[in-house]
């Protein structure tokens, strides 16, 4: 999950930017002691089951493995900030030996390579206006992001599960499109990034799976809460200084090309319903059962809404917009 890759889009339009002094989210109170103890008790399990999903540095690929020799020719720290807002798992010192903190730092380090590689590829390709891309990235980091997870690790790990699977899907789709359009290097780059995202997804899916096992209702409520809010991807506040609706326009192109679509969103939701065995959960409170019913039926509702949207779109004349990233060329939305 990273910012340099422009391959993620949500189903919902960007949230309006708050005025100065406004609060962007209502933060919940810190978790009660008994909930914090759950995450403390899971540290040995994290060390045994989650940390092995990381790769040693000397066995990890590096951007230079995929790029021409330099003689011929840091963005993910924000990502780390997301998990460091979660009660019970944050890196309290910046170098904590806690398994939770160890995972977060190493995950961030692995993700950083994705942005480094894609940025260098774009620079060497000569196909894009790097000045405008760099301005977009700076503006995006300055704008920040609010995934609406508050300081709740239950909701936070639902978010990262969805996010990592979304990036796995979008990079896989981009690799396929690159192959179809004669760019085997880009296909290889996106393929290797997709494999990383799949490994990271496995970690977060296992965490939510464990939470459902030991604190079923709270975890089910967190899943329902995040699905009602809708998963908003990190780049929803992207801004190149020219197009005030840049993310909406980008999302429309991603949908049309098949990079990341409403159908993908529904597929991901269905995948999690099955993987986490949500339909068969027992022992839920009444509120938990309501969340269970809502989540298990949501993918079908999303598909029906998208069918109606697609039908309306087919009846309209196609629109196009200029993108500063590619020297203001017009692209059909």
Residues of each annotated binding site: 111, 114, 164, 197, 200
C-alpha distances out from residue 237 to 27, 33, 286, 332, Å: 20, 35, 37, 21
Collapsed DSSP state (helix, strand, coil) of residue 59: helix
User: ∠230-234-235 over CA atoms, to 5°?
Assistant: 115
Half-sphere exposure of 309 (CA within 13 A, CB side): 14
Residues in the annotated binding site for Fe cation? 111, 114, 164, 197, 200
DSSP-assigned beta bridge partners for residue 320: 332
Collapsed DSSP state (helix, strand, coil) of residue 331: strand
Structure tokens at 136: 């977009």
Structure tokens at 127: 């196909």
Q: How far is it, in rounded angstroms, from Cα 96 to Cα 100?
A: 9
Residue written as tokens 């904590």?
Answer: 96
Cβ proximity of 91 and 106 under 8 Å: no
The DSSP call for residue 315 is T
């Amino acid at each position: 999950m990273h910012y340099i890759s422009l391959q993620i889009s949500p189903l919902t339009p960007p949230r309006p930017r708050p005025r100065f002094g406004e609060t962007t989210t209502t933060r919940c109170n810190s978790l009660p002691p008994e909930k914090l103890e759950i995450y403390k008790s899971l540290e040995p399990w994290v060390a045994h089951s989650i940390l092995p999903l990381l790769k040693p540095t000397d066995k990890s690929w590096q951007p230079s493995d995929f790029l021409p020799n330099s003689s011929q020719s840091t963005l993910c720290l924000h990502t780390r900030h997301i998990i460091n807002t979660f009660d019970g798992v944050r890196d309290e010192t910046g170098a904590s030996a806690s398994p939770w903190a160890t995972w977060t730092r190493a995950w961030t380090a692995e993700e950083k390579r994705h942005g480094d590689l894609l940025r260098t590829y774009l620079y060497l390709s000569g196909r894009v206006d790097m000045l405008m891309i760099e301005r977009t990235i700076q503006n995006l980091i300055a704008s920040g992001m609010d995934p609406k997870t508050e300081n709740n690790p239950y909701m936070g790990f639902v978010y990262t599960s969805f996010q990592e699977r979304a990036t796995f899907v979008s990079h896989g789709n981009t690799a396929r499109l690159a192959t179809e359009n004669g760019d085997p290097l880009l296909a290889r780059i996106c393929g290797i990034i997709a494999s990383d995202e799949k490994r990271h997804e496995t970690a977060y899916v296992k965490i939510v799976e464990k939470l459902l096992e030991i604190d079923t209702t709270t975890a089910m409520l967190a899943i329902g809460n995040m699905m009602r809010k809708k998963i908003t991807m990190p780049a929803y506040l992207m801004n190149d200084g020219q197009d005030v609706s840049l993310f909406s326009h980008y999302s429309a192109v991603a949908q049309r090309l098949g990079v990341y679509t409403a159908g993908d969103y529904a597929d991901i939701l269905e995948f999690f319903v099955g993987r986490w065995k949500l339909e068969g959960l027992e022992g839920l409170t009444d509120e938990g059962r309501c969340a269970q019913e809502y989540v298990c039926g949501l993918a079908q509702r999303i598909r029906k809404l998208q069918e109606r949207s697609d039908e309306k779109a087919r009846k309209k004349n196609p629109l196009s917009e200029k993108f500063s990233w590619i020297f203001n060329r017009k692209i059909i939305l």
